[in-house]
Amino acid sequence: MPIARPIRGIAPREGYRLWSRVYDTEPNPLLTLEERFLEALLPSVTGLDVVDLGCGTGRWLARLATRNPASLVGVDFSAEMLEQAEHKLGGAAKLLLGDCRNVPLSSTCADLIVCSFLGSYIGSLGDLAEQVRRMLRPGGSVFFTDLHPATAAKFGWRRGFSINGEHVDIATYLRPGRDPVLI
């Protein structure tokens, strides 16, 4: 497995604290692209227990809440992003402040786990994978999305946001893949 290499920028916790103010109001072509592809792949969630790791402002939780899941749980390390999610979801999901490398949920609690653009912010994907394995029920599904380094390089995309007219890069880990696939 290729070794993760840190890329400089503002620390993720501080970055997401700041980004939470504008996250849902700024256009984000990467999120739009992901939604178009992932939406078609997700199974029916009717009657399923769904966990969204790194849920941010609850983007996926809001979409899935209308599809009759048994339960929805969002986990994020940013209290400010979870505040935005609470406003958006109005109690449709249980929201937990926590680190996705040590998730405060019981074993075999999820039928479906979504990890949207989370991997680039975690130094050890092994820790995340262990948590996912622990929480997932037999026969469950995991959907993991992230920005491939080759795609970012090709299009000049950066992990961050603009605030007061200035771009803020958020520190990430670069994980070059063996066979890059550009989307």
pLDDT of residue 13: 92
pLDDT of residue 101: 85
Q: Which residue type does 149 have?
A: P
Using alpha carbons only, give the angle 112, 178, 146 rounded to the nearest 5 degrees. 35
Residue with the larger pLDDT of the pair 153 and 107 = 107
Q: Are 31 and 59 in contact (CB under 8 A)?
A: yes
How far apart, in whole angstroms, are the C-alpha atoms of residue 130 and residue 113?
A: 13
Given a cut of 90, is residue 124 above it in pLDDT?
no
First to last CA, the chain: 22
Over residues 8-35, the mean pLDDT reads 89
pTM exceeds 0.85 for this model: yes
Spell out the domains of the chain, with CATH numbers in brackets.
Answer: 45-172 (3.40.50.150)
Residue with the larger pLDDT of the pair 181 and 171 = 171
HSE-up (13 A, CA, CB side) for residue 160: 19
Tell me: the pLDDT tens digits for 127-155?
Answer: 999 999 999 999 999 999 998 777 777 88
Q: Are 19 and 179 in contact (CB under 8 A)?
A: no
Given a cut of 50, is residue 9 above it in pLDDT?
yes
